[in-house]
Amino acid sequence: MTTDDVTRELARAFPDNPDHLRELHDRLAAAALQDGVLDVAYRTLDTTVGTLLLAATEQGLVRVAYASENHDTVLQALADRISPRVLHAPSRLDTVATELDEYFSGRRRSFDVPLDWRLSAGFRRTVLNHLAADIGYGHTATYAKVAQLAGNPKAIRAVGTACATNPLPVVVPCHRVVRTDGGIGGYLGGVEAKRTLLTLEAAA
């Protein structure tokens, strides 16, 4: 038997047990929350537009991500940009999850959870602020109109970029921004998701 055999067998003899590890993680998350050392808490939520990743700092909701963005990649980016103190800790996101559930079942028209805007800056952030404040449930606005609202009517492409890099989709409603020619336009969660959201809001 070679050294490789022994080490491979050793790794097998001390196996990963995902359930057990999850339990330990949950306990750690509770302790970290209590001690104020949990910088980013996250959970996932199954919705009609797929599984969403929700992440919150102590200031508020900081990230909503579609599955198409790859949740592992998003978590790594959060660790790099905010803090590696990232843990699965659903309790910090209870309110957000409830409000999203209500939204997707047509029982909620706006979100009133605190938002942490730190992943968005400059003109993009101005655009997103206007989306959140000025385009109500069930309404849409064109990219040109949003550029105007944000104070720079020529920056139509930049509005598109702001929407495409929205760190808080669904909650900050970039899905309500459509093309001037009546086309639905792109969406970071996929055009199908955008259509689903607009249909949902039109029906209510």
Partner 1 sequence: MAIHGATVLRVCRAVLGPSDADDAWSETFLSAMKAYPDLPGDANVEAWLVTIAHRKAIDVTRATARRAVPVAETPDIVTAPAANIRDLDLDADLVEAFAALPIKQKQSVAYHYLAGLPYTDVAAILGGSTDAARRAAADGIATLRRTYPGVTSPEREPR
**Residues noted as catalytic:** 174
Measured CA to CA, the distance from residue 194 to residue 17 in angstroms comes to: 38
Which of 88, 108, 118, 125 is close enough to bind partner 1 by CB under 8 A?
Answer: 88
> Which CB atom, from 83 or from 98, has the smaller least distance to partner 1?
83
> Which CB atom, from 53 or from 174, has the smaller least distance to partner 1?
53
> Which CB atom, from 74 or from 131, has the smaller least distance to partner 1?
74
Q: Which of residues 121-140 bind partner 1 (CB under 8 A)?
A: none
Measured CA to CA, the distance from residue 198 to residue 51 in angstroms comes to: 18
Is residue 86 involved in binding partner 1 (CB under 8 A)? yes
Q: Which of residues 35-54 bind partner 1 (CB under 8 A)?
A: 35, 37-38
Is residue 25 involved in binding partner 1 (CB under 8 A)? yes
> Binding segment for partner 1 among 20-28, 137-145, 180-188, 196-204 (CB under 8 A)?
20-28
Measured CA to CA, the distance from residue 134 to residue 21 in angstroms comes to: 45
Note the residue count of the chain. Answer: 204
Which of 48, 59, 70, 83 is close enough to bind partner 1 by CB under 8 A?
Answer: 83
> Binding segment for partner 1 among 18-26, 97-105, 166-174, 194-202 (CB under 8 A)?
18-26
Which of 48, 68, 70, 85 is close enough to bind partner 1 by CB under 8 A?
Answer: 85
Give the closest residue to 165 by CA, choosing from 119, 197, 129: 119
Is residue 33 involved in binding partner 1 (CB under 8 A)? no
Is residue 80 involved in binding partner 1 (CB under 8 A)? no
Which of 24, 133, 191, 204 is close enough to bind partner 1 by CB under 8 A?
Answer: 24
- Which residues would be at the binding site for partner 1 (CB under 8 A)? 1, 3, 5-7, 9-17, 20-21, 24-25, 27-28, 31-32, 35, 37-38, 79, 83-88
